[in-house]
Structure 1
Amino acid sequence: MRSFFGAVLVAACGLGAGAVLAQTATPPAQTQTCRVCHGLDGTGTNPMIPNIGGQSEEYLSKQLQDFRAGRREDPQMSIIARDLTDEDIKALSAWFASITATYALPQ
């Protein structure tokens, strides 16, 4: 009896893992450029670079649109954003917004 339930449990876990892997998103191609400074998870690679993982999609989209339009300026971001299409901005914003950011309060 135990081996039957063990087999069912292993099978269920395997199916669950397959479902999770099937739902894993593939990052947009443009994240190759983003990850140099923001990492694939949206965590800035140094203290002067903001963490964008887990930000709202609307916020990220607005910032990229503002960089592209020249309403917001940064030596690197202004250059990068000017070549982004509306579809690129939507895909990047959705990707980084889909990241779950966790925070720890000070002890």
Structure 2
Amino acid sequence: GCATCHQANYRGAGTIPRLSRQKRVYLETIMKDFRDGKRTNDNGLKGEFMKNLSDEDIKALSHFLAGM
């Protein structure tokens, strides 16, 4: 999952960006872009992870991460 690269606290490290406390709309947009193949700067890792997430799943996940 996300914590593999973004750390257990979702704050990222080095070149891996933080996910915690980002704006919900930003997170939702980025996750949908990875899922839909519009963004590919991750060697396919995020798209593969997110390919089965619905819009509602992504909305809930972005809400969770934004509130951390």
TM range (shorter): 0.7 to 0.9
TM-superposed deviation, 1:66: 0.4
Q: CA RMSD in A?
A: 1.3
User: Does residue 49 of structure 2 align to residue 59 of structure 1?
Assistant: no
Provide the aligned length of Structure 1 versus Structure 2: 66
Secondary structure at 2:9's aligned position in 1? Answer: coil
Q: TM-score, normalised by structure 1?
A: 0.56
Q: TM-score, normalised by structure 2?
A: 0.84
Counterpart pick for 2:4 among 31, 36, 39: 36
CA radius of gyration, larger in: 1
Unpaired segments of 5 or more residues in structure 1?
1-32, 100-107
Structure that is richer in helix per residue = 1
Unpaired segments of 5 or more residues in structure 2?
none
Runs of 4+ in 1 over 2 A off after TM superposition: none
Instruction: Name the structure, 1 or 2, with higher relative contact order (CA <8 Å, separation 6+).
Output: 2
Q: CA 1:91/1:39 → structure 2, altered by over 3 Å: closer, same or farther?
A: farther
Structure 1 vs Structure 2: percent identity of aligned residues? 38
User: Does residue 63 of structure 2 align to residue 72 of structure 1?
Assistant: no
Contact 1:41 1:96 in 2 (8 A): no
